Amino acid sequence: SMVKLTVVDAGSGGPFGSAPEGYDFGPQLMRYAKSIDVDLIVERGEMIGRRRGGDEERVVVCAQFRAGRAGVGFLRAVREMEPDLVVLSEDEEGEGEGLGFGRRVEMMWRFLESTGAAFKGRECEERRIVEREAARVLEEGREGGRERWKEKMEGLGFREEEFTEEVLDAGRVLLRKYDGNWEMTCGRGGGVGLWWKGQAVSFCSLWKPVRHKATTAAAAGYGISFRHY
């Protein structure tokens, strides 16, 4: 089967919201796809207005650290696309931790520490780019952690799905290739957390649209209308 990847051209404006100037990720994606025997097509364009190409096409939206900056309008547009699956990755706040400047400084240093481990202490341009983007976290407000996002997604008419054991095992294998301070945890409802030295860093969760009339009441406050099935 063929996989078509549509990459949104416009950056989100926040940290890691856009690729470095002159960077072309296409060839790397194609090499990786070839290594796992996937027929891949990479397109660039806008997400808004994207529609399913046919009954056989499956639409998956990946929102990695973008949905919080784009606002509820972004998620509303995603919901109206009727995707088969949404992959949501965002920062995790951790239990009992606030959203203030001190908390953001703590998370930034944690990120820089993990980046240093990933580059094995080497100084290079790639590392400087990553660290420069990470420093911009201090400029941003926060959207809350996994529980806050769960509330948002359910309000917009999505239900959370669980990762399969095969996917979880693949994630654990990948983590073992990096620094041993990384660990992966499985939360309630199916989300997966990424931790560094025992501290929550980010989470990833899977969502499917709910297709029944009860969705209308749940999403009324978000101004969304749905087709009923």
Per residue in 188-208, pLDDT (tens digit) is 778 899 888 888 888 999 999
> Shortest CA distance to 19 belongs to which of 5, 7, 31?
7
Using alpha carbons, select from 208, 203, 167 the residue that is nearest to residue 89: 203
Distances (CA, A) of 136 to 86, 128, 187, 212: 26, 13, 28, 41
Q: Which of 22-26, 28-32, 130-134 has the highest mean pLDDT?
A: 28-32
Domain limits of the chain? Answer: 47-94+143-222, 100-141
Q: Which residues of 110-147 are buried (b: 16+ CB within 10 A; e: fewer)?
A: bbeebeebeeeeeeeeebeebeebbeebeeeebbbbbb
Retrieve residue 173's tokens. Answer: 């294998």
- Give the residue from 223, 229, 228 showing the smallest Cα distance to 75: 223
Q: What predicted TM-score, i.e. pTM, was given to this entire model?
A: 0.74
Highest-pLDDT range among 106-120, 123-137, 154-168: 154-168
- Mean pLDDT (whole number) for 135-147: 68
